[in-house]
Amino acid sequence: MEDLVRFSVSVPEQLLEEFDRWLSRLGMHNRSEAVRQIIRSYIAQSQWEERSGEVFGTVTIIYDHHRNDAVSSLTELQHHFSRVIICTTHVHIDPRRCLEVIVLRGEVEEMRRFITSLSSLKGIEETHPVITSPL
């Protein structure tokens, strides 16, 4: 376990009250842990935006498997980017649509290329990436 360092932060009272209400809605009662999570999340998002380092994440997609050979295009793309894909989970939503969750690990630029390519495939209705970096 890492050593913890104590520091103080000054915020307007109204902001702190809003923060406490937000924590309560989430069922969290530890401001320090919440601030640690927020800092980690912010750094991970910044790293993703700045295009540097190794990141982890998921991409959830919904697609029409009957449209424009979407399944074949998706499979071909996943094979092309196999070095960043850890695994996929496939769920049938209804007779025409599927949901897939793709778990990723790799360099930011490669992941960005994969997500951009994935989003441009015909038949993809929704693409939701969630990218993070372990700190």
User: How many Å apart are CA 78 and CA 81, to the nearest integer?
Assistant: 5
Which are the contacts of 7, defined by CB distance < 8 A and separation ≥ 6?
Answer: none
Helix 31-50 to helix 108-119 angle, to the nearest 10 degrees? 80
**Under CATH, to which class is 54-132 assigned?**
alpha beta
What rounded mean pLDDT belongs to the chain?
89
Over residues 42-84, the pLDDT tens digits come to 777 776 666 678 889 999 999 998 887 888 999 999 999 999 9
Three-state SS at 4: coil
Which tokens in the block code for residue 124?
């993809």
- Name the more confident of 48 and 91: 91
Which tokens in the block code for residue 7?
């520091």
pLDDT value at residue 68:
72
User: How many Å apart are CA 9 and CA 25, to the nearest integer?
Assistant: 22
pLDDT value at residue 122:
87
